[in-house]
Structures are given as C-alpha cells and as structure tokens.
Amino acid sequence: MPALAVTAVGADRPGIVARVARVLLDHRGNIADSAMTILGGHFAIVLLVETEAPPPILEAALVQATADLGLVVTVRPVGDGTASTAASHVLSVYGADRPGIVAAVAEVLAEREVNVTHLRTRVLEGASTVYAMLMEVSVPQGTADALFARLRGDAALDGVEITLSAVDDETF
C-alpha cells in the first residue's frame, strides 16, 4: 500500500488527533508511524499513513475536517525509508540561550557520521534563561569518546554543558 506523509500544524487545542484520525480511517488509512508534540503552543503532527487514497483527495478531506481548527495540512507521497540504526547514546546540551547551539552540535555530529534519531529542545525560564537540548543519537561503534572530545572542544559550544551517555538497553 502506498505511504503518504501527513503533516498538520496549528494552535494547540483538544480534538486535533481525533479529527485527523477519523479522516484517515474514513479513507481506509492506517497510521504506520507517527510523531506528535506541542511546540511553543502549536500542535505539530507528522504521520506516515498507508492508504490507497490519492494525496490531493486526502489532503482536501483533512483540510475540510479541520478548517475550524486552523491547521496547516499537507499530504505528500513518500518512498521507502532507509533502515536506521537504533539510538546508542543520549546527548544533552545545556547553556545560556543563544543562536547557533543546534547548528554547532549538528555539524559536529554530521562530520562524525552520527545519526540523530530524536531531537527535543526547550528554553527553560528561571533565574536565568537556559537552552536545553536532548538528542538520541546513533554513534558509530568505538567513536563515542572522540565525539565527546570534539563536542567539548568546539568553540561555538564554549560555556555549554554537554553530556554523552550510552543508552541502557534494558531501560530505554
């Protein structure tokens, strides 16, 4: 069955998942994989859906069913994904909020062939504003120590606290 990527973003409110799921079911869609979260008061959803419904028809149905929710909806065909390795490490980054932290970390990871399997960031308000980033990453075997040293030595990350911990398979 063809796979479609369905995305929707809009102000967070109850009922979004129910409406989207109902339209997918009505079009004989099966949600094969999903990620949903709230980002700065906006609900964001990404779904991989198996269905025979043509993308324009499914998108129109989703737009109509969620019109009063003010969602921005897209439906696009996607090909086969690639097999990704499971996360082997958790990388956490904390520091004063400033532009460039994600870019600096991501560039170091890319140069070391580290795959990011999950990424979450948040600005923590308190006595001082702290930028927090938590990543699940797949680090090539035997390279974790060199990766950690490279991250700690990156000038763009001065003043940022970085930890890299192996995933405990039994608790993850």
pLDDT computed for residue 23 by the predictor = 97
110 Rama class: left (phi>0) / alpha (psi -120 to 50) / beta: alpha
pLDDT computed for residue 156 by the predictor = 85
Q: Is residue 172 part of a domain?
A: no
Give the strand pairing for 89-96 and 161-166: antiparallel
Instruction: Give pLDDT tens digits for 88-114.
Output: 999 999 999 889 999 999 999 999 999
Q: Is residue 84 part of a domain?
A: no
Assign residue 113 the CATH number of its domain.
3.30.70.260
Q: How many domains does the chain have?
A: 2
Structural domain that includes position 51? 3-78
Measured between its terminal Cα atoms, the distance across the chain in Å is 31
Q: Is residue 65 part of a domain?
A: yes
Last residue within a domain, chosen from 50, 78, 106? 78
Residue 171 has pLDDT above 90, yes or no: no
Instruction: Give pLDDT tens digits for 107-163.
Output: 999 999 999 999 999 998 888 889 999 999 999 999 999 999 999 998 888 889 999
Q: What's the chain's average pLDDT?
A: 92
Residue 172 has pLDDT above 70, yes or no: no
Instruction: Give pLDDT tens digits for 38-89.
Output: 998 999 999 999 999 999 999 999 999 999 999 999 999 997 777 788 899 9
pLDDT computed for residue 1 by the predictor = 64
Contact predicate 94/131, CB 8 Å = yes
